[in-house]
A = this chain, B = another copy of it.
Amino acid sequence: MNNNLSFNNLVIEEIKSVENLMRDQAKDHHADLQAALEHLISSGGKRIRPNITLLAGRMLNGNINRLITLSAAIELLHTATLVHDDLIDGSLLRRGIPTLNARWSPAATVLTGDFLFAKAAKLASETDSIPVMKLFANTLVIIVNGEISQLFSSRCNHNIDQYYQRIYEKTASLFETSTLAAGLIAEASEAEKEYLRQFGYEIGIAFQIIDDILDFTSNAEKLGKPVGGDLRHGLITLPAIYYFESHQNESNVKNYIDQDCFLTNTNLDILIEQIRNSDAINTAYEKAKSHVSLGIRALLRLPEGDDRNALEEMANYVTNRSI
């Protein structure tokens, strides 16, 4: 993410505080754990969730210290799920950087993820808000349930409703919690909380659709893994769903579905190339943009000002990013 984007500039100091608070969680713990957390934080991506949380909370005059605590809880929860995900997938790289899993034993990786879950729960409890803690615990249930469904039931599933359910559980649920919990901290009205929730939900759905598009359209260097990785793992995402709908009789498509989403590497490469070059990418992209529009529509019912402008910019960034 370009750090000069204004949505980031508004809360640049607060984001530093969030990162420091995340780092503090390993203090007084095992040196290897500190090193692991440092590795995770320094390779840590765009901090999009803390940015959204902080801006949403500021927009409604929430207490900044409690928002920082909440943001650190949310980002640690996100980090914990990535650690266990990478272990489950056997991923050795994330954003081109070695995963914990690539460097540590499975046992150490499981426990580091558990440690981050525990610290995330501890930080959530330090917001001193029962509704935030309930929301947080429920979100963790939703995310883990989604991972379990993905593990047991998602192979070769090209049902669009189940795709939406999956990306809600996997991604949008935590975006929704980021904005709604910020509203809870800021003691927003019921209507405001509902607009916040909608904004988080729609941006989260768009974010994951774009991730799923980039898995086809990006390159291996940027992705840190081969292009079309989802399809190679039998995971059918929105671009593929659209492509399959409009190319049901193409032999590669028929074979892929008939063979429980196993194909030879050559045929997989061809299928991925076909999807990359098809209208399905653009159709999925338009769908993501329509979710951003719905999110912005809800956002614009909330108090205007710099924070709201930054959130709008951030929403538009979600569909314009290249990684």
Interface positions of A (Cβ within 8 A of B): 29-30, 32-33, 84, 87-88, 106-108, 110-115, 117-119, 121-122, 124-126, 128, 130, 133-134, 136-138, 140-141, 143-145, 147-149, 151-153
Contacts and interface: CB of A to CB of B under 8 A. Distances in A.
Contact of A124 (B32, B112, B137, B152): B137
A113 B141 CA distance: 11
A159 B121 CA distance: 32
A121 B148 contact: no
Nearest to A80: B114
B111 A125 contact: no
Contact of A144 (B88, B115, B144, B152): B115
23 contacts: A29-B148, A30-B149, A30-B153, A33-B148, A87-B107, A88-B107, A106-B106, A108-B151, A108-B152, A110-B113, A111-B151, A112-B148, A114-B117, A114-B144, A118-B140, A118-B141, A119-B141, A121-B137, A121-B140, A122-B140, A124-B137, A125-B133, A133-B133
Contact of A145 (B30, B106, B138, B145): B30
Contacts of A144: 111, 114-115, 118
A145 B29 contact: yes
A149 B125 CA distance: 24
A107 B151 contact: yes
A137 B110 contact: no
Contacts of A84: 110-111, 114
A20 to B, nearest CB: 18
Nearest to A81: B114
A137 B118 contact: yes
Nearest to A105: B151
A182 to B, nearest CB: 18
Contact of A110 (B29, B87, B122): B87
Nearest to A29: B145
Interface centre among A108, A137, A141 (most CB of B within 10 A): A137
A148 B111 contact: yes
Contact of A30 (B29, B143, B152): B152
A107 to B, nearest CB: 4
A88 B107 CA distance: 5
A32 B130 contact: no
A292 to B, nearest CB: 29
Contacts of A140: 117-118, 121-122
